[in-house]
Structure 1
Amino acid sequence: MPQTSLKLASQQGLAMSPRLQQAVRLLQLSSLDFAQEVSEVVAQNPFLEQGDPLAELAHDGTPIAADVAANDEAPSFMAERAGLQAEVLIQDADEAWVSGGAPWATSGSRQADQGDDDMGLVNSVPAVTRLRPYLHVQANALKLSDRERALVGLLIESLDDDGYLRQDLAELAALAGLEPVVDEQELVQALTRVQSMEPTGVGARHVQECLALQISEIEGLRQQRMARAIIRDHLDLLATRDTDALARILGQSQADVHAVCERIRHMDPHPGWRYSADPMAFIVPDVVARFDKGQWVVSLNPAVVPKVSINQACSELFQRHRDARHAELAAHLRDARWMVRNVEQRFHTILCVARLIVQRQHLFLEYGEMGMRPLSLRDVAQELGLHESTVSRVINNKYMATRSGVFELKRFFSRAVHTSNGGICSTVAIRGLIKDIIDSEDPTRPYSDVAITRLLARQGLAVARRTVTKYRQMMNIEMAGQRRQRRA
């Protein structure tokens, strides 16, 4: 008969406190998601208040953390900040560049500041035109009977977000609910009316029909006939860019077939996407790197740093009247202090990682991809005394604005490749070298992937041919034969 027993054992384990969980979650959020998270927390916690992020910043670009010193549990990173201060020295010209002239700034924000109308920014947002209402407006302009208008409206409401009609006409005829019963021929006529509307290609039932509806936009009857034949019978050859086979089948010159194929590739296979309801997402950089007085200076972007602080009036009132009945308010105050510290820790960590990245990759910022050095998460983690997972969270969905453009922090990390002379080279630099080789090739005799592999080997880079092919495809560069045809 089995016996049961109790035994005590002790072991060590790592448990994430609620504060640590919040810090980890805030660190991995993008700037937009982080701003939304902070706004939600401030709305729920009476001890937190949030001001204009551009109104008041600490001298190192981080929000002023009020009431932090009131708690004895100040994190250790506060003591380390003395040697890692960010120099946010925004002069008049730099201030205009960050707030007005940067790629992420909108003209509406500048107009709102210059004018007296507080609605300037709202007025600068374009109205979103939706596909179905747009089609209904066009249908209302047609001379149709009530029955025809009902069928056209039924088809418009049956379109998907791509602008395609995926349902069978017989099924739609049964759903019409009209008397007498709708036959399929009536729906075909109504569909023809829908397909005559803008955008061109709307109402198609498959890709071939969508492209065929756009053939009328091609100039020249002969070119239209060629396009119709390619779309109807030879889409597979079009997809593989086999213009030689298409020229033989159609009995046309290779140059004419190539021109028609390029025109087909510029057609819109998803006409409904331009009327999508999804809002356009803009990239807001978290840090700004600029070259000042012979050195690179990295600072936080003030636009993404929220001014979160403890509401001193509420905090003092609570401290004067605190008793056991106010346990819930005490928890709110504790959470508020955690939030302020976690916000500051987030930006402090991002700034430290960004400054180290610029220190290691300043040649990339100055000379482009050829200056990229190998850099791994382990290198940054060891240099800053962080865990690799922390560095991974920092560079996820975080962006840096430079004079060369806005780059995701992940862009600055590259695997090392050993050269024949014992040195190392980054994979990004190899891709840049491949692009330079292709850009400088003879248009009539482009380099094949094998030839590029040999040229790299002469420079001490042992790169496999399949790796060259992969890098070329990553840069959306065509094969040698296709480049020759395009340049002919």
Structure 2
Amino acid sequence: MIQMDVRADQRQTQTLSPRLQHAVRLLQMSSLDFGLMVRDTLGKNPFLEPDDDIDDADDAERSELETGAQKEGDTFEERTTTAPNESADGGEESDRDLWLADAAMGNRRESDGETSALDMMMAERSLSMHLHSQLNTMQLGERDLTLAHVIVESLEDDGYLRTPLHELIEHVAMDPPVELVELQIALKMVQSLEPAGVGARSVAECLELQLHEIECVEMRALAQTIVADHLPALAARDVAGLSRLLDKPPAVIEGVCDRIRRLDPRPGWRWGSSHVAYVVPDVIVKKIRGEWQAQLNPAIVPRVRLNQVYADLFQRHRSAENAEMGAHLQEARWTLRNVEQRFSTILDVAQAIIKRQRHFLEFGPMAMKPLGLREIAEEVGAHESTVSRVTNNKYMSTPRGVFELKHFFSRAMVSANGRACSGTAIRGLIQDMIEAESGGEPLSDAEITRQLSQQGLVVARRTVTKYRQMLRIEAVGRRRRHDA
């Protein structure tokens, strides 16, 4: 027979509060996303305000309040610390002065007359706008101009026309009905516009529309033949095969192929959406008095502060009826602490990294040392998971380039002499080998593995292949050049 009983069991477990969980999520955000979050909070929380020219604003506000207090025969300190239960006139007058002073500051911020950087940004110009403006300057009849505009509106973002012309006829209602030859003429008009190659229906046609940019007549004729009849061989970089088919020296074919590759297969991408995800460094590394030092990038630190006027007024008249405003004040203070702690942690981690990777800053990738999260965590007094979150989507600007903080971490690979070497150093060595190779006899991954072994670095061939791909270097067949 089953018996049931109830027992009280005490266990000690560690859990994260919702606010701490939110702080952890904010820590691993990129600076762009974190700035957007702070800006969103700034728009919702009445106790937060932009921290623009804080010193001048505070001085002006203090001067106005002190002047107003002296006119009333009272001191600034006495007027701003009057309790609510004191003289009703004095309390109301003090509140009024605080409100007027803050409003005056707000008006000065809004009417400073300075031009914002956003006001000076050039408006985006789409591909269709660019083409329409060119068509409008051409002396065309109304019917021809309308059909050309129809072609432009049918182009995709890369500039290609992938809708067959006979299907466009069904969507153009004109009297008399549009014929196919009219759309073909309109397409030729669009293909004559800039950028060259726009309106093409295939890659070959796109390249053919740009061949007029080749000045040499012989090279242009050879390029025309390659694009029209041997495009797969061009894509495969089969110089030897093209040389046999066209009965030309490999060096000539190589030169023509290089010239064709400088053409733009996606001309429409020069226009349209110009939203590029630029990498903004969180930390800037400079050498000051012989020592490498990390500094926060001021551009990524949100400039926000507590509106002390509102906070003082709320504390003076606080009651149980305005609990929601109390929550806003608590959130504002927590946001400011989070901003300070976030960037302080980023700076500490960055400084610990450059302390151990100073040889990389001096000599380049081959001087990169193996580095683990635990080593940095012990240095800054944080958990490894915290360091991992800090290095996620955070970037450091160095004289060697802009790198993600994770770039400086790699596991140790023991060489033949027992010394540890980082994967970054091996990638730098592979890149130097490939840059120094002969164009006619490039190094295969197996040969690179053999040369690394001769230097005491035992690395598998598949690891060499992985590192080469990480460096975005093509395979040996595509790196081969024909000099004769």
Q: Is the TM-score greater than 0.5?
A: yes
Q: Give secondary structure in 1 for the equivalent of 2:170.
A: helix
Q: Cα distance, 1:220 vs. partner?
A: 3.0
Whole-Å separation in 1 of the counterparts to 2:13 and 2:164:
60
Whole-Å separation in 2 of the counterparts to 1:236 and 1:134:
32
Tell which deviates more after alignment, 279-288 or 269-278: 279-288
Change (3 A) 1:12 1:210: farther
Q: Cα distance, 1:328 vs. partner?
A: 0.6
Give the greater-gyration-radius structure (CA).
2
Alignment of 1:12-31 (within 5 A): 15-31=15-31
Q: Give secondary structure in 2 for the equivalent of 1:241.
A: coil
Whole-Å separation in 2 of the counterparts to 1:152 and 1:146:
10
Q: Cα distance, 1:484 vs. partner?
A: 4.9
Alignment of 1:365-404 (within 5 A): 365-404=361-400
Change (3 A) 1:324 1:122: closer
Once the two structures are superposed, residues 2-26 of structure 1 have per-residue CA deviations (whole angstroms, 9 ceiling, x without a partner) of x999998776665543322331232
Aligned residue pairs, count: 428
1:314 to 310, 315, 321: 310
Q: Using the aligned pairs only, state the percent identity.
A: 52
Alignment of 1:250-399 (within 5 A): 250-399=246-395
Q: Cα distance, 1:273 vs. partner?
A: 0.8
Q: Give secondary structure in 2 for the equivalent of 1:417.
A: strand
Whole-Å separation in 2 of the counterparts to 1:117 and 1:239:
56
Q: Cα distance, 1:283 vs. partner?
A: 3.1
Structure possessing the higher relative contact order (Cα contacts under 8 Å, 6 or more residues apart): 1
Change (3 A) 1:347 1:443: same
| Partner residue, 1:216 | 212
Q: Give secondary structure in 2 for the equivalent of 1:485.
A: coil
**Contact conserved, 2:440 with 2:482, CA < 8 A, in 1?**
no
Whole-Å separation in 2 of the counterparts to 1:285 and 1:54:
25
Flag structure 1 segments of 5+ consecutive residues without an equivalent.
57-115
TM-score normalised by length of structure 1: 0.80
Q: Cα distance, 1:381 vs. partner?
A: 3.2
Once the two structures are superposed, residues 175-219 of structure 1 have per-residue CA deviations (whole angstroms, 9 ceiling, x without a partner) of 011122222222111111111111001111222221121122223
Tell which deviates more after alignment, 392-401 or 444-453: 444-453
Change (3 A) 1:171 1:352: same
| Partner residue, 1:86 | none
TM-score normalised by length of structure 2: 0.81
Whole-Å separation in 2 of the counterparts to 1:171 and 1:55:
66
Q: Cα distance, 1:260 vs. partner?
A: 1.3
| Partner residue, 1:464 | 460
Amino acid at match of 2:206: C
Is the aligned partner of 1:153 residue 2:179?
no
**Contact conserved, 1:151 with 1:190, CA < 8 A, in 2?**
yes
Q: Give secondary structure in 1 for the equivalent of 2:481.
A: helix
Alignment of 1:12-91 (within 5 A): 15-52=15-52
Whole-Å separation in 2 of the counterparts to 1:333 and 1:403:
43
**Contact conserved, 1:54 with 1:302, CA < 8 A, in 2?**
no
Q: Cα distance, 1:425 vs. partner?
A: 0.8
Alignment of 1:444-455 (within 5 A): 445-455=441-451
| Partner residue, 1:72 | none
**Contact conserved, 2:250 with 2:482, CA < 8 A, in 1?**
no
Amino acid at match of 1:303: A
Amino acid at match of 1:51: D
| Partner residue, 1:103 | none
Tell which deviates more after alignment, 144-153 or 292-301: 292-301
**Contact conserved, 1:374 with 1:416, CA < 8 A, in 2?**
yes
Q: Cα distance, 1:161 vs. partner?
A: 0.9
Is the aligned partner of 1:473 residue 2:433?
no
**Contact conserved, 2:226 with 2:234, CA < 8 A, in 1?**
yes
Q: Cα distance, 1:385 vs. partner?
A: 4.1
Change (3 A) 1:325 1:230: same
Whole-Å separation in 2 of the counterparts to 1:430 and 1:54:
49
Flag structure 2 segments of 5+ consecutive residues without an equivalent.
57-111
**Contact conserved, 1:54 with 1:303, CA < 8 A, in 2?**
no
Whole-Å separation in 1 of the counterparts to 2:459 and 2:475:
18
Whole-Å separation in 1 of the counterparts to 2:210 and 2:384:
52
Change (3 A) 1:453 1:250: same
Q: Cα distance, 1:299 vs. partner?
A: 2.2
Whole-Å separation in 2 of the counterparts to 1:240 and 1:201:
22
Tell which deviates more after alignment, 460-469 or 190-199: 460-469
Whole-Å separation in 1 of the counterparts to 2:160 and 2:13:
56
Q: Cα distance, 1:261 vs. partner?
A: 0.9
